[in-house]
Structure 1
Amino acid sequence: MKEFKNKVALITGAANGFGKEFLKEASRRGMRIAALDIEKDEVEAAAKEAKELGAAEIFTIQADVTKVEDCERAVDEVIEKFGAIDLLMNNAGVVVPGDIWDTPVRDWEWITHANFLSHVYFMHKVIPIMMKQGTHCNIVNTCSVAGLITSNGMPAYHATKHAAVALSESVSYDLQAKGADISVSIYCPGFVQTDLHHAERHRPEQYKDASDPYYTSKEFAMGQKIAEQVIVTGMPIDSVGMRVFNAIEEDQFYILTHPIYTTLIGKRVTDMLAGKGPNLIELRGK
Protein backbone atom coordinates (compact mmCIF):
# COMPACT_ATOMS: atom_id res chain seq x y z
CA MET A 1 0.00 0.00 0.00
CA LYS A 2 1.53 3.27 -1.12
CA GLU A 3 -1.37 5.66 -0.52
CA PHE A 4 -3.12 5.75 2.84
CA LYS A 5 -5.30 8.85 2.74
CA ASN A 6 -9.01 7.96 3.06
CA LYS A 7 -8.21 4.22 2.99
CA VAL A 8 -9.92 2.13 5.69
CA ALA A 9 -7.97 0.54 8.54
CA LEU A 10 -9.36 -1.90 11.11
CA ILE A 11 -7.04 -2.08 14.13
CA THR A 12 -7.61 -4.49 17.01
CA GLY A 13 -6.23 -3.89 20.50
CA ALA A 14 -6.22 -0.19 19.63
CA ALA A 15 -6.52 1.27 23.13
CA ASN A 16 -2.99 0.61 24.36
CA GLY A 17 0.53 -0.40 23.35
CA PHE A 18 1.22 -1.20 19.71
CA GLY A 19 -2.42 -0.79 18.76
CA LYS A 20 -2.50 2.77 20.02
CA GLU A 21 0.70 3.57 18.10
CA PHE A 22 -0.78 2.06 14.93
CA LEU A 23 -3.93 4.10 15.51
CA LYS A 24 -1.92 7.31 15.78
CA GLU A 25 0.18 6.58 12.70
CA ALA A 26 -2.89 5.66 10.64
CA SER A 27 -4.37 8.98 11.74
CA ARG A 28 -1.26 10.90 10.68
CA ARG A 29 -1.68 9.34 7.24
CA GLY A 30 -5.26 10.54 6.94
CA MET A 31 -6.96 7.14 7.05
CA ARG A 32 -10.51 6.26 7.98
CA ILE A 33 -10.10 4.07 11.03
CA ALA A 34 -12.09 1.52 12.99
CA ALA A 35 -10.41 1.26 16.41
CA LEU A 36 -11.39 -1.94 18.26
CA ASP A 37 -10.67 -2.94 21.83
CA ILE A 38 -12.21 -4.86 24.70
CA GLU A 39 -11.97 -1.72 26.86
CA LYS A 40 -14.65 0.71 25.66
CA ASP A 41 -13.60 3.81 27.62
CA GLU A 42 -9.91 3.33 26.86
CA VAL A 43 -10.33 2.90 23.12
CA GLU A 44 -12.59 5.94 22.97
CA ALA A 45 -9.92 7.99 24.75
CA ALA A 46 -7.22 6.70 22.41
CA ALA A 47 -9.37 7.51 19.37
CA LYS A 48 -10.01 11.04 20.62
CA GLU A 49 -6.28 11.60 21.05
CA ALA A 50 -5.44 10.11 17.65
CA LYS A 51 -8.12 12.06 15.78
CA GLU A 52 -6.21 15.27 16.39
CA LEU A 53 -3.31 13.91 14.32
CA GLY A 54 -5.24 14.12 11.06
CA ALA A 55 -7.48 11.06 10.60
CA ALA A 56 -10.21 11.42 8.02
CA GLU A 57 -12.55 9.69 10.47
CA ILE A 58 -12.31 7.36 13.47
CA PHE A 59 -15.00 5.30 15.10
CA THR A 60 -14.61 2.83 17.93
CA ILE A 61 -15.85 -0.72 18.46
CA GLN A 62 -16.00 -2.51 21.78
CA ALA A 63 -15.38 -6.21 21.17
CA ASP A 64 -13.74 -9.28 22.70
CA VAL A 65 -11.48 -10.79 20.03
CA THR A 66 -11.58 -14.20 21.76
CA LYS A 67 -15.22 -14.50 20.62
CA VAL A 68 -15.82 -15.24 16.95
CA GLU A 69 -19.23 -13.59 17.08
CA ASP A 70 -17.69 -10.33 18.33
CA CYS A 71 -15.09 -10.39 15.55
CA GLU A 72 -17.70 -10.99 12.87
CA ARG A 73 -19.96 -8.26 14.28
CA ALA A 74 -17.05 -5.84 14.29
CA VAL A 75 -16.28 -6.47 10.62
CA ASP A 76 -19.95 -6.00 9.75
CA GLU A 77 -19.93 -2.66 11.57
CA VAL A 78 -16.86 -1.49 9.65
CA ILE A 79 -18.42 -2.40 6.31
CA GLU A 80 -21.67 -0.71 7.26
CA LYS A 81 -19.75 2.43 8.26
CA PHE A 82 -17.06 2.64 5.57
CA GLY A 83 -18.00 0.09 2.90
CA ALA A 84 -14.48 -1.35 2.67
CA ILE A 85 -11.44 -2.59 4.59
CA ASP A 86 -8.05 -1.83 3.03
CA LEU A 87 -5.80 -2.55 6.01
CA LEU A 88 -6.42 -5.16 8.72
CA MET A 89 -4.12 -5.00 11.74
CA ASN A 90 -4.55 -8.04 13.98
CA ASN A 91 -2.83 -6.62 17.02
CA ALA A 92 -4.83 -7.59 20.12
CA GLY A 93 -2.98 -10.06 22.31
CA VAL A 94 -2.08 -11.12 25.84
CA VAL A 95 0.77 -12.78 27.69
CA VAL A 96 0.49 -15.79 30.01
CA PRO A 97 3.82 -16.66 31.67
CA GLY A 98 4.37 -19.88 33.58
CA ASP A 99 5.31 -23.54 33.16
CA ILE A 100 2.86 -25.84 31.40
CA TRP A 101 2.30 -27.91 34.57
CA ASP A 102 1.41 -24.84 36.66
CA THR A 103 -0.64 -22.76 34.20
CA PRO A 104 -4.37 -23.54 34.24
CA VAL A 105 -5.89 -24.85 31.01
CA ARG A 106 -8.26 -21.85 30.94
CA ASP A 107 -5.19 -19.60 30.56
CA TRP A 108 -4.05 -21.64 27.56
CA GLU A 109 -7.52 -21.26 26.08
CA TRP A 110 -7.50 -17.50 26.69
CA ILE A 111 -4.10 -16.86 25.11
CA THR A 112 -4.82 -19.19 22.19
CA HIS A 113 -8.03 -17.36 21.37
CA ALA A 114 -6.50 -13.91 21.86
CA ASN A 115 -3.12 -14.36 20.14
CA PHE A 116 -3.96 -16.88 17.44
CA LEU A 117 -7.60 -17.65 16.81
CA SER A 118 -8.52 -13.95 16.71
CA HIS A 119 -6.29 -13.71 13.62
CA VAL A 120 -8.19 -16.63 12.12
CA TYR A 121 -11.56 -15.06 12.91
CA PHE A 122 -10.73 -11.70 11.32
CA MET A 123 -8.91 -13.02 8.26
CA HIS A 124 -11.66 -15.57 7.61
CA LYS A 125 -14.18 -12.73 7.52
CA VAL A 126 -12.11 -9.92 5.99
CA ILE A 127 -10.15 -11.61 3.18
CA PRO A 128 -13.25 -12.36 1.04
CA ILE A 129 -14.23 -8.69 1.42
CA MET A 130 -10.76 -7.57 0.33
CA MET A 131 -10.84 -9.92 -2.66
CA LYS A 132 -14.14 -8.45 -3.85
CA GLN A 133 -12.85 -4.89 -3.55
CA GLY A 134 -10.39 -5.41 -6.40
CA THR A 135 -7.85 -3.01 -4.90
CA HIS A 136 -4.53 -3.62 -3.21
CA CYS A 137 -4.99 -4.44 0.49
CA ASN A 138 -2.71 -5.26 3.41
CA ILE A 139 -2.91 -7.45 6.50
CA VAL A 140 -0.50 -6.98 9.41
CA ASN A 141 -0.44 -9.61 12.14
CA THR A 142 1.39 -8.79 15.37
CA CYS A 143 3.34 -11.96 16.08
CA SER A 144 6.45 -11.14 18.19
CA VAL A 145 10.00 -12.44 17.92
CA ALA A 146 8.65 -15.07 20.35
CA GLY A 147 7.14 -16.61 17.21
CA LEU A 148 10.60 -17.06 15.66
CA ILE A 149 12.62 -18.26 18.67
CA THR A 150 11.87 -20.05 21.95
CA SER A 151 12.95 -19.71 25.57
CA ASN A 152 11.94 -21.02 28.97
CA GLY A 153 9.16 -19.72 31.21
CA MET A 154 6.42 -18.89 28.72
CA PRO A 155 5.48 -21.87 26.54
CA ALA A 156 1.93 -20.57 26.01
CA TYR A 157 3.16 -17.27 24.61
CA HIS A 158 5.73 -18.92 22.33
CA ALA A 159 3.23 -21.52 21.12
CA THR A 160 0.58 -18.97 20.15
CA LYS A 161 3.07 -16.62 18.51
CA HIS A 162 4.62 -19.46 16.49
CA ALA A 163 1.11 -20.43 15.45
CA ALA A 164 0.42 -16.86 14.34
CA VAL A 165 3.63 -16.78 12.29
CA ALA A 166 2.88 -20.12 10.59
CA LEU A 167 -0.69 -19.04 9.91
CA SER A 168 0.47 -15.80 8.29
CA GLU A 169 3.06 -17.54 6.11
CA SER A 170 0.55 -20.14 4.95
CA VAL A 171 -2.15 -17.54 4.25
CA SER A 172 0.36 -15.55 2.20
CA TYR A 173 1.02 -18.63 0.05
CA ASP A 174 -2.72 -19.18 -0.42
CA LEU A 175 -3.34 -15.55 -1.40
CA GLN A 176 -0.54 -15.77 -3.96
CA ALA A 177 -2.00 -18.99 -5.35
CA LYS A 178 -5.36 -17.23 -5.78
CA GLY A 179 -3.75 -14.22 -7.41
CA ALA A 180 -5.22 -12.00 -4.71
CA ASP A 181 -3.82 -8.47 -4.47
CA ILE A 182 -3.41 -8.73 -0.69
CA SER A 183 -0.05 -8.42 1.05
CA VAL A 184 0.56 -10.01 4.45
CA SER A 185 3.11 -8.76 6.99
CA ILE A 186 4.08 -10.02 10.42
CA TYR A 187 5.39 -7.66 13.06
CA CYS A 188 7.90 -9.55 15.22
CA PRO A 189 9.39 -7.20 17.83
CA GLY A 190 11.34 -8.05 20.95
CA PHE A 191 10.58 -6.37 24.26
CA VAL A 192 8.98 -2.94 23.84
CA GLN A 193 7.47 -0.62 26.44
CA THR A 194 3.84 -1.59 25.80
CA ASP A 195 0.92 -2.33 28.12
CA LEU A 196 1.30 -6.11 27.68
CA HIS A 197 2.29 -6.74 31.29
CA HIS A 198 -1.17 -5.46 32.29
CA ALA A 199 -2.95 -8.17 30.29
CA GLU A 200 -4.63 -9.50 33.44
CA ARG A 201 -6.83 -6.42 33.74
CA HIS A 202 -8.25 -7.18 30.28
CA ARG A 203 -9.05 -10.83 31.07
CA PRO A 204 -12.63 -11.63 29.92
CA GLU A 205 -15.08 -13.07 32.42
CA GLN A 206 -15.19 -16.46 30.71
CA TYR A 207 -11.51 -17.03 31.55
CA LYS A 208 -11.71 -15.98 35.21
CA ASP A 209 -11.86 -18.21 38.28
CA ALA A 210 -10.99 -16.38 41.47
CA SER A 211 -11.33 -19.62 43.44
CA ASP A 212 -8.34 -21.22 41.70
CA PRO A 213 -5.37 -21.10 44.12
CA TYR A 214 -2.97 -20.68 41.20
CA TYR A 215 -3.79 -16.96 40.97
CA THR A 216 -2.58 -16.38 44.53
CA SER A 217 0.47 -18.64 44.17
CA LYS A 218 4.09 -17.55 44.17
CA GLU A 219 4.45 -19.06 40.67
CA PHE A 220 1.76 -16.73 39.29
CA ALA A 221 3.19 -13.70 41.11
CA MET A 222 6.70 -14.44 39.83
CA GLY A 223 5.47 -14.79 36.25
CA GLN A 224 3.72 -11.44 36.45
CA LYS A 225 6.79 -9.79 37.97
CA ILE A 226 9.08 -11.09 35.22
CA ALA A 227 6.63 -10.00 32.51
CA GLU A 228 6.54 -6.49 33.95
CA GLN A 229 10.32 -6.28 34.26
CA VAL A 230 11.06 -7.19 30.64
CA ILE A 231 8.35 -4.88 29.29
CA VAL A 232 9.16 -1.74 31.28
CA THR A 233 12.86 -2.08 30.40
CA GLY A 234 12.16 -2.73 26.72
CA MET A 235 12.67 -0.50 23.70
CA PRO A 236 10.74 2.80 23.71
CA ILE A 237 7.51 2.49 21.76
CA ASP A 238 7.60 5.89 20.03
CA SER A 239 8.99 4.75 16.65
CA VAL A 240 6.84 1.63 16.27
CA GLY A 241 3.99 3.17 14.29
CA MET A 242 6.21 4.73 11.64
CA ARG A 243 8.39 1.59 11.38
CA VAL A 244 5.44 -0.70 10.76
CA PHE A 245 3.67 1.62 8.33
CA ASN A 246 6.87 2.10 6.35
CA ALA A 247 7.05 -1.70 6.08
CA ILE A 248 3.44 -1.73 4.83
CA GLU A 249 4.43 0.75 2.12
CA GLU A 250 7.17 -1.65 1.04
CA ASP A 251 4.97 -4.78 1.29
CA GLN A 252 7.60 -6.22 3.66
CA PHE A 253 6.62 -9.58 5.12
CA TYR A 254 8.90 -9.95 8.17
CA ILE A 255 9.04 -6.75 10.21
CA LEU A 256 11.92 -7.21 12.66
CA THR A 257 12.89 -4.35 14.96
CA HIS A 258 15.43 -5.90 17.35
CA PRO A 259 18.73 -6.85 15.63
CA ILE A 260 19.89 -8.39 18.90
CA TYR A 261 17.69 -11.42 18.14
CA THR A 262 19.05 -12.02 14.63
CA THR A 263 21.78 -14.33 15.92
CA LEU A 264 19.29 -16.33 17.99
CA ILE A 265 16.97 -16.75 15.00
CA GLY A 266 19.87 -17.95 12.88
CA LYS A 267 21.13 -20.30 15.61
CA ARG A 268 17.69 -21.87 15.98
CA VAL A 269 17.61 -22.71 12.26
CA THR A 270 21.17 -24.07 12.38
CA ASP A 271 20.35 -26.23 15.40
CA MET A 272 17.25 -27.59 13.63
CA LEU A 273 19.27 -28.63 10.60
CA ALA A 274 21.80 -30.29 12.89
CA GLY A 275 19.09 -32.12 14.84
CA LYS A 276 20.11 -30.31 18.00
CA GLY A 277 17.52 -29.66 20.70
CA PRO A 278 17.02 -26.75 23.12
CA ASN A 279 19.91 -26.15 25.51
CA LEU A 280 19.13 -23.92 28.49
CA ILE A 281 22.81 -23.39 29.36
CA GLU A 282 23.50 -22.06 25.85
CA LEU A 283 20.36 -19.93 25.94
CA ARG A 284 21.50 -18.25 29.14
CA GLY A 285 24.97 -17.78 27.71
CA LYS A 286 26.74 -19.75 30.43
Structure 2
Amino acid sequence: MKEFKGKTAVITGAGNGFGVEFAIECAKREMKLVLADINEEDLKRTEQVIKEMGVEVIAVPTDVSLYEEVAHLAEKTVEIFGSVDLLFNNAGVVVPGPIWEIPVKDWEWIMGVNVNGIAFGLKAFIPVMLKQGTPCHIVNTASVAGLLTTPNMVAYHASKHASVALTESVAMQLEAANSKIGMSVFCPGFVQTDLHNCDRQRPERYAITSDEPYYQSPTYRAGLERAKHVITTGIPIDSISQSVFIAIEEERFYILTHPQYNLVIGKRVKEMIEGQNPDTQFFLKAKS
Protein backbone atom coordinates (compact mmCIF):
# COMPACT_ATOMS: atom_id res chain seq x y z
CA MET A 1 0.00 0.00 0.00
CA LYS A 2 1.50 3.29 -1.12
CA GLU A 3 -1.43 5.69 -1.46
CA PHE A 4 -2.99 7.03 1.73
CA LYS A 5 -4.75 10.32 0.97
CA GLY A 6 -8.52 9.96 1.22
CA LYS A 7 -8.28 6.35 2.40
CA THR A 8 -9.75 5.07 5.68
CA ALA A 9 -7.67 3.89 8.62
CA VAL A 10 -8.95 2.09 11.72
CA ILE A 11 -6.86 2.14 14.90
CA THR A 12 -7.56 0.21 18.09
CA GLY A 13 -5.87 1.29 21.31
CA ALA A 14 -6.09 4.82 19.92
CA GLY A 15 -6.34 6.55 23.28
CA ASN A 16 -2.67 6.31 24.21
CA GLY A 17 0.82 5.39 23.09
CA PHE A 18 1.33 4.03 19.60
CA GLY A 19 -2.34 4.48 18.79
CA VAL A 20 -2.12 8.26 19.15
CA GLU A 21 1.07 8.43 17.08
CA PHE A 22 -0.41 6.27 14.32
CA ALA A 23 -3.51 8.48 14.27
CA ILE A 24 -1.45 11.65 13.93
CA GLU A 25 0.63 10.14 11.12
CA CYS A 26 -2.54 9.04 9.31
CA ALA A 27 -3.95 12.54 9.66
CA LYS A 28 -0.75 14.04 8.23
CA ARG A 29 -1.32 11.82 5.21
CA GLU A 30 -4.92 13.11 4.95
CA MET A 31 -6.60 9.81 5.76
CA LYS A 32 -10.08 9.44 7.23
CA LEU A 33 -9.87 7.96 10.69
CA VAL A 34 -11.83 5.57 12.88
CA LEU A 35 -10.46 5.56 16.42
CA ALA A 36 -11.25 2.84 18.95
CA ASP A 37 -10.33 2.46 22.60
CA ILE A 38 -11.90 1.10 25.77
CA ASN A 39 -11.17 4.33 27.65
CA GLU A 40 -13.67 6.90 26.39
CA GLU A 41 -11.92 9.88 27.97
CA ASP A 42 -8.59 9.03 26.32
CA LEU A 43 -10.38 8.27 23.07
CA LYS A 44 -12.09 11.68 23.02
CA ARG A 45 -8.74 13.38 23.64
CA THR A 46 -7.20 11.70 20.60
CA GLU A 47 -10.29 12.45 18.53
CA GLN A 48 -9.97 16.14 19.40
CA VAL A 49 -6.30 16.18 18.36
CA ILE A 50 -7.22 14.69 14.99
CA LYS A 51 -10.17 17.03 14.47
CA GLU A 52 -7.86 19.97 14.98
CA MET A 53 -5.70 18.60 12.17
CA GLY A 54 -8.65 19.04 9.83
CA VAL A 55 -9.43 15.46 8.76
CA GLU A 56 -12.59 13.39 9.07
CA VAL A 57 -12.66 11.26 12.20
CA ILE A 58 -15.05 9.23 14.31
CA ALA A 59 -14.43 7.67 17.72
CA VAL A 60 -16.00 4.32 18.62
CA PRO A 61 -15.58 3.09 22.22
CA THR A 62 -14.52 -0.54 21.85
CA ASP A 63 -13.44 -3.42 24.10
CA VAL A 64 -11.40 -5.48 21.64
CA SER A 65 -11.62 -8.57 23.86
CA LEU A 66 -15.33 -8.81 22.93
CA TYR A 67 -15.98 -9.87 19.34
CA GLU A 68 -19.38 -8.22 19.14
CA GLU A 69 -17.78 -4.83 19.87
CA VAL A 70 -15.09 -5.31 17.23
CA ALA A 71 -17.74 -6.41 14.74
CA HIS A 72 -19.69 -3.24 15.58
CA LEU A 73 -16.52 -1.22 14.95
CA ALA A 74 -16.23 -2.73 11.47
CA GLU A 75 -19.90 -2.11 10.72
CA LYS A 76 -19.65 1.49 11.89
CA THR A 77 -16.57 2.08 9.74
CA VAL A 78 -18.28 0.83 6.59
CA GLU A 79 -21.48 2.71 7.46
CA ILE A 80 -19.68 6.06 7.83
CA PHE A 81 -16.80 5.83 5.36
CA GLY A 82 -17.72 2.95 3.06
CA SER A 83 -14.32 1.24 3.10
CA VAL A 84 -11.41 0.04 5.22
CA ASP A 85 -7.95 0.50 3.76
CA LEU A 86 -5.54 0.42 6.70
CA LEU A 87 -6.09 -1.42 9.99
CA PHE A 88 -3.94 -1.09 13.08
CA ASN A 89 -4.75 -3.88 15.56
CA ASN A 90 -2.88 -2.00 18.23
CA ALA A 91 -4.54 -2.41 21.64
CA GLY A 92 -2.37 -4.17 24.24
CA VAL A 93 -1.99 -4.74 27.98
CA VAL A 94 0.51 -6.30 30.37
CA VAL A 95 0.52 -7.79 33.88
CA PRO A 96 3.83 -8.96 35.42
CA GLY A 97 4.45 -12.03 37.52
CA PRO A 98 5.07 -15.82 37.54
CA ILE A 99 2.36 -17.99 36.00
CA TRP A 100 1.71 -19.62 39.38
CA GLU A 101 1.00 -16.26 41.01
CA ILE A 102 -0.92 -14.10 38.55
CA PRO A 103 -4.72 -14.38 38.86
CA VAL A 104 -6.55 -16.37 36.20
CA LYS A 105 -8.52 -13.27 35.24
CA ASP A 106 -5.25 -11.47 34.41
CA TRP A 107 -4.24 -14.29 32.07
CA GLU A 108 -7.66 -14.08 30.45
CA TRP A 109 -7.42 -10.28 30.16
CA ILE A 110 -3.99 -10.33 28.52
CA MET A 111 -4.94 -13.07 26.08
CA GLY A 112 -8.30 -11.45 25.45
CA VAL A 113 -6.74 -8.13 24.41
CA ASN A 114 -3.33 -9.08 22.99
CA VAL A 115 -4.40 -12.20 21.07
CA ASN A 116 -8.17 -12.23 20.69
CA GLY A 117 -8.19 -8.49 20.06
CA ILE A 118 -6.05 -9.06 16.99
CA ALA A 119 -7.90 -12.19 15.90
CA PHE A 120 -11.26 -10.45 16.22
CA GLY A 121 -9.97 -7.48 14.24
CA LEU A 122 -8.82 -9.78 11.45
CA LYS A 123 -12.09 -11.71 11.44
CA ALA A 124 -14.21 -8.56 11.33
CA PHE A 125 -12.23 -6.48 8.83
CA ILE A 126 -10.60 -8.91 6.38
CA PRO A 127 -13.91 -9.84 4.72
CA VAL A 128 -14.55 -6.13 4.08
CA MET A 129 -11.09 -5.72 2.56
CA LEU A 130 -11.44 -8.84 0.41
CA LYS A 131 -14.79 -7.66 -0.91
CA GLN A 132 -13.29 -4.28 -1.81
CA GLY A 133 -10.50 -5.92 -3.81
CA THR A 134 -8.32 -2.82 -3.43
CA PRO A 135 -4.80 -2.54 -1.99
CA CYS A 136 -5.08 -2.62 1.81
CA HIS A 137 -2.75 -3.18 4.72
CA ILE A 138 -2.97 -4.53 8.26
CA VAL A 139 -0.46 -3.82 11.02
CA ASN A 140 -0.69 -5.98 14.13
CA THR A 141 1.13 -4.60 17.14
CA ALA A 142 3.07 -7.37 18.86
CA SER A 143 6.42 -6.75 20.60
CA VAL A 144 10.02 -7.82 20.53
CA ALA A 145 8.71 -9.94 23.44
CA GLY A 146 7.10 -12.04 20.72
CA LEU A 147 10.49 -12.80 19.13
CA LEU A 148 12.53 -13.54 22.25
CA THR A 149 11.81 -14.77 25.77
CA THR A 150 12.88 -13.54 29.21
CA PRO A 151 12.09 -14.72 32.74
CA ASN A 152 9.72 -11.81 33.27
CA MET A 153 6.19 -11.09 32.00
CA VAL A 154 5.30 -14.70 31.20
CA ALA A 155 1.72 -13.95 30.10
CA TYR A 156 2.86 -10.99 28.00
CA HIS A 157 5.52 -13.09 26.24
CA ALA A 158 3.00 -15.85 25.57
CA SER A 159 0.48 -13.40 24.12
CA LYS A 160 3.03 -11.65 21.93
CA HIS A 161 4.52 -14.87 20.57
CA ALA A 162 0.94 -15.86 19.72
CA SER A 163 0.26 -12.56 17.97
CA VAL A 164 3.41 -12.88 15.85
CA ALA A 165 2.49 -16.44 14.82
CA LEU A 166 -1.10 -15.38 14.14
CA THR A 167 0.07 -12.59 11.87
CA GLU A 168 2.52 -14.82 10.01
CA SER A 169 -0.08 -17.51 9.38
CA VAL A 170 -2.83 -15.13 8.26
CA ALA A 171 -0.38 -13.37 5.93
CA MET A 172 0.32 -16.73 4.29
CA GLN A 173 -3.41 -17.39 3.94
CA LEU A 174 -3.99 -14.02 2.30
CA GLU A 175 -1.09 -14.54 -0.08
CA ALA A 176 -2.41 -17.99 -1.00
CA ALA A 177 -5.79 -16.37 -1.71
CA ASN A 178 -4.10 -13.86 -4.07
CA SER A 179 -5.54 -11.01 -2.04
CA LYS A 180 -4.39 -7.41 -2.25
CA ILE A 181 -4.04 -7.21 1.54
CA GLY A 182 -0.53 -6.68 2.86
CA MET A 183 0.38 -7.45 6.46
CA SER A 184 3.01 -6.37 8.96
CA VAL A 185 3.74 -7.34 12.53
CA PHE A 186 5.10 -4.47 14.61
CA CYS A 187 7.60 -5.69 17.21
CA PRO A 188 8.87 -2.70 19.19
CA GLY A 189 11.33 -2.83 22.04
CA PHE A 190 11.01 -0.46 24.99
CA VAL A 191 9.39 2.78 23.85
CA GLN A 192 8.00 5.64 25.93
CA THR A 193 4.36 4.58 25.75
CA ASP A 194 1.74 4.46 28.51
CA LEU A 195 1.70 0.65 28.70
CA HIS A 196 2.79 0.55 32.35
CA ASN A 197 -0.48 2.30 33.26
CA CYS A 198 -2.71 -0.16 31.47
CA ASP A 199 -4.43 -1.28 34.69
CA ARG A 200 -6.69 1.75 34.33
CA GLN A 201 -7.99 0.28 31.06
CA ARG A 202 -9.39 -2.84 32.71
CA PRO A 203 -13.05 -3.59 32.04
CA GLU A 204 -15.14 -4.37 35.11
CA ARG A 205 -14.92 -8.15 34.67
CA TYR A 206 -11.13 -7.95 35.03
CA ALA A 207 -11.03 -5.26 37.71
CA ILE A 208 -8.42 -5.31 40.48
CA THR A 209 -10.17 -6.33 43.69
CA SER A 210 -9.11 -6.18 47.35
CA ASP A 211 -9.90 -9.87 47.89
CA GLU A 212 -7.11 -10.91 45.46
CA PRO A 213 -3.84 -10.96 47.47
CA TYR A 214 -1.64 -10.87 44.36
CA TYR A 215 -2.32 -7.17 43.83
CA GLN A 216 -0.90 -6.41 47.28
CA SER A 217 2.10 -8.69 46.85
CA PRO A 218 5.76 -7.61 46.53
CA THR A 219 5.89 -9.52 43.23
CA TYR A 220 3.15 -7.42 41.68
CA ARG A 221 4.54 -4.12 42.98
CA ALA A 222 8.07 -4.95 41.83
CA GLY A 223 6.75 -5.90 38.40
CA LEU A 224 4.95 -2.58 38.06
CA GLU A 225 8.09 -0.67 39.04
CA ARG A 226 10.19 -2.64 36.57
CA ALA A 227 7.67 -1.99 33.79
CA LYS A 228 7.56 1.72 34.59
CA HIS A 229 11.36 1.96 34.50
CA VAL A 230 11.93 0.17 31.19
CA ILE A 231 9.10 2.03 29.45
CA THR A 232 9.85 5.52 30.72
CA THR A 233 13.53 5.09 29.83
CA GLY A 234 12.74 3.68 26.37
CA ILE A 235 13.25 5.45 23.08
CA PRO A 236 11.03 8.48 22.30
CA ILE A 237 7.66 7.46 20.90
CA ASP A 238 7.61 10.25 18.32
CA SER A 239 10.40 8.45 16.44
CA ILE A 240 8.15 5.48 15.61
CA SER A 241 5.12 6.21 13.44
CA GLN A 242 6.92 7.51 10.36
CA SER A 243 9.17 4.45 10.26
CA VAL A 244 6.10 2.20 10.51
CA PHE A 245 4.54 3.93 7.50
CA ILE A 246 7.76 3.55 5.53
CA ALA A 247 7.61 -0.18 6.30
CA ILE A 248 4.00 -0.28 5.06
CA GLU A 249 5.01 1.45 1.82
CA GLU A 250 7.89 -0.99 1.38
CA GLU A 251 5.61 -3.95 2.20
CA ARG A 252 7.91 -5.12 4.98
CA PHE A 253 6.39 -7.79 7.17
CA TYR A 254 8.55 -7.52 10.32
CA ILE A 255 8.84 -4.03 11.77
CA LEU A 256 11.45 -3.79 14.53
CA THR A 257 12.66 -0.74 16.43
CA HIS A 258 15.74 -1.87 18.37
CA PRO A 259 18.61 -3.42 16.36
CA GLN A 260 20.40 -4.33 19.61
CA TYR A 261 17.87 -7.11 20.18
CA ASN A 262 18.71 -8.84 16.90
CA LEU A 263 21.57 -10.73 18.54
CA VAL A 264 19.26 -12.03 21.28
CA ILE A 265 16.62 -13.08 18.75
CA GLY A 266 19.29 -14.86 16.71
CA LYS A 267 20.67 -16.53 19.84
CA ARG A 268 17.24 -17.97 20.64
CA VAL A 269 16.87 -19.43 17.14
CA LYS A 270 20.43 -20.80 17.24
CA GLU A 271 19.71 -22.60 20.51
CA MET A 272 16.65 -24.21 18.92
CA ILE A 273 18.31 -25.52 15.78
CA GLU A 274 21.36 -26.72 17.70
CA GLY A 275 19.21 -28.62 20.19
CA GLN A 276 20.31 -26.50 23.14
CA ASN A 277 18.22 -25.69 26.16
CA PRO A 278 17.24 -22.04 26.69
CA ASP A 279 20.00 -20.07 28.39
CA THR A 280 18.24 -19.27 31.65
CA GLN A 281 21.25 -17.35 32.94
CA PHE A 282 21.60 -15.04 29.93
CA PHE A 283 19.30 -12.28 31.13
CA LEU A 284 20.42 -12.65 34.73
CA LYS A 285 24.01 -12.05 33.59
CA ALA A 286 22.93 -9.16 31.39
CA LYS A 287 21.24 -7.47 34.35
CA SER A 288 24.28 -7.77 36.64
Q: Distance in 1 between matches of 2:282 and 2:220?
A: 26
Letter in 1 for 2:135: H
Structure 2: gaps spanning 5 or more residues: none
Which residue in 1 is equivalent to 2:23?
Answer: 23
CA apart distance, 1:52: 2.9
Which residue in 2 is equivalent to 1:241?
Answer: 241
CA apart distance, 1:113: 0.6
Which residue in 1 is equivalent to 2:134?
Answer: 135
CA apart distance, 1:209: 4.7
Q: Distance in 1 between matches of 2:124 and 2:199?
A: 28
Which residue in 1 is equivalent to 2:41?
Answer: 41
Match runs of 1:130-169 below 5 Å: 130-169=129-168
TM-score under structure 1 normalisation? 0.97
Moved more, 201-210 or 166-175: 201-210
Supply the RMSD in Å over aligned alpha carbons.
Answer: 1.0
Which residue in 2 is equivalent to 1:224?
Answer: 224
Which residue in 2 is equivalent to 1:263?
Answer: 263
Percent of matched pairs sharing the same residue: 49
Letter in 1 for 2:16: N
Q: Distance in 2 between matches of 1:189 and 1:153?
A: 17
Q: Distance in 2 between matches of 1:233 and 1:209?
A: 27
Which residue in 1 is equivalent to 2:206?
Answer: 207
Q: Distance in 1 between matches of 2:27 and 2:54?
A: 5
Which residue in 1 is equivalent to 2:73?
Answer: 74
Letter in 1 for 2:110: I
TM-score under structure 2 normalisation? 0.97
Helix, strand or coil for the counterpart of 2:58?
A: strand
Helix, strand or coil for the counterpart of 1:284?
A: helix
1:19-53 deviation digits (Å, cap 9, x = unpaired): 00000000000000001011112111112113333
Which residue in 2 is equivalent to 1:13?
Answer: 13
Q: Distance in 2 between matches of 1:17 and 1:45?
A: 12
Moved more, 46-55 or 8-17: 46-55
Letter in 2 for 1:118: G
Helix, strand or coil for the counterpart of 2:108?
A: helix
Which residue in 2 is equivalent to 1:250?
Answer: 250
Helix, strand or coil for the counterpart of 2:30?
A: coil
1:225-246 deviation digits (Å, cap 9, x = unpaired): 1111110010110111111111
Aligned length: 285
Structure 1: gaps spanning 5 or more residues: none
CA contact (8 A) 1:89 1:141 kept: yes
Moved more, 187-196 or 216-225: 216-225
